[in-house]
Amino acid sequence: MTETFVYLDHSATTPVDERVFAAMKPYFSEVYGNPSSLHRQGQLAEAAVDNARELIAGILGCGTESIFFTACATESNNLVLQGCRLHSPGRYHILSTAVEHASVIEPLRMMQADADIELTLLPLDKGGKATAAGLEGCMGDPPDLVSVIYGNNEIGTINPITQIGAFLREYPSLLHTDAVQTANFLKLRVDDLQVDFLSLSAHKFYGPKGVGILYARDPSTLEPVLLGGGQESGVRPGTHNVPLIVGAATALKLAQDECHSETGRLSPMRDWIIERVIAEIPGAYLTGDPVERLPHHVSFAFADLDSNELLAALDLQGFACSSGSACKVGDPEPSSALLSIGFTEELAKGALRITLGRGTTKKQLGEFVDTLIEVVERLRARETA
Ligand SMILES: *Cc1c(COP(=O)(O)O)cnc(C)c1O
């Protein structure tokens, strides 16, 4: 084992920023009341949740009545898809894409068992990007709900959500976007994006794990999926996780304040890796859009390589990366997102995702690319031996 440890998996999760941790800390053991309690301890906790909601509403440019706290973005996505459907029984048409996060794909798959629900998949370009033109072709039967990911976790592509939102204004369709990957880099003003629902997860922007945010322009279009004590206006009952909610708001404020500077710092490093790897490793292909791309996100498909072996070899050298999908050791299924945008099964099995973050330096990336070149050569030589 080497001493090196370089974390290049920021799309999977990020460390909690120390400023966020400091803001959360008092709410574990000093202000520990239940915000629903009437006594002073409860009121202090309630004030913290109210302040967090106001801060987030200010950042997104909406009213506090549109902000809901959940346990994760997986829950936010499920609540939108299932909650909208529950609100509109009878025939229901959903338009989405083949490259959504599993927390959208899986509820859609389940809902397809309902004969009244029709699912249409939006055509995507080679980079996995939805276009307003492709959307136009799907409007013969206007969907009730459109769900399109903003920044793709696996292939890094940024979708033109503003244009999609503008296009949909003429239709009764509601628009949801999973914006989890974009909070560190793109402004999230919901009126600019023209979305009706937006999902976020604090642990993707240097906040704590286990807290999600849901923006719902008109919450009355959403039935609750959980039933209980009526918290969050009944849209999402369950005792508020006060420290995590405080952490989510603090982290979102920092991430959005720093989004332009982080974009400026990381995108040249991203492009540098892409250029070197494509030039120096034969059989390496960039996945996703080369230009409309998250500033921290690099993803490849390698010929004649197995993702899991590559990840294990890189980990031994001290580099933490990902294959980009939920594909785990022992689960050699190729990514359905890569297959859907035209990669062969063989190439899709050689996926590698490198995602940079606040702690990433140019020096680390130089060492990383040198190691990657060496590891790829070694693994391929073994394969043909
Ligand atoms: C991580 C992620 C999620 C899930 O977020 P959790 O809070 O971990 O459930 C959803 N969508 C995208 C795009 C993600 O990257």
Ligand 1 atom having least distance to the Cα of 103: 10
Q: Are 336 and 98 in contact (CB under 8 A)?
A: yes
Task: Give the pLDDT score at 330.
Answer: 59
- Residue type for 200, please? L
- Please give the helix or strand (H or E) that residue 94 lies within, else none: strand 92-96
Any atom of ligand 1 within 6 Å of the Cβ of 307: no
pLDDT at 179 over 80: yes
Task: Give the pLDDT score at 20.
Answer: 98
Residue nearest atom 5 in ligand 1 by C-alpha distance? 73
For residue 274 the two structure tokens come to 């892409």
To the query of whether residue 62 is one of the catalytic residues in this protein, the response is no
Q: Please give the angle made by the CA atoms of 350, 109 and 227, to the nearest 5 degrees.
A: 125
Any atom of ligand 1 within 6 Å of the Cβ of 165: no
pLDDT at 344 over 70: yes
Question: What phi-psi label fits residue 90: left (phi over 0), alpha (psi between -120 and 50 degrees) or beta?
Answer: left
Beta bridge partners of 118: 93
pLDDT at 217 over 60: yes
pLDDT at 93 over 80: yes
The percentage of residues in the chain with a pLDDT greater than 90, rounded to a whole number, is 94
Helix axes 242-257, 259-280, angle to 10 degrees: 70
CB count, 10 Å around CB of 110? 13
pLDDT mean over 130-142: 91
pLDDT mean over 198-210: 98
pLDDT at 1 over 90: no
Ligand 1 atom having least distance to the Cα of 13: 1
pLDDT category, 331, cuts 50, 70, 90? low
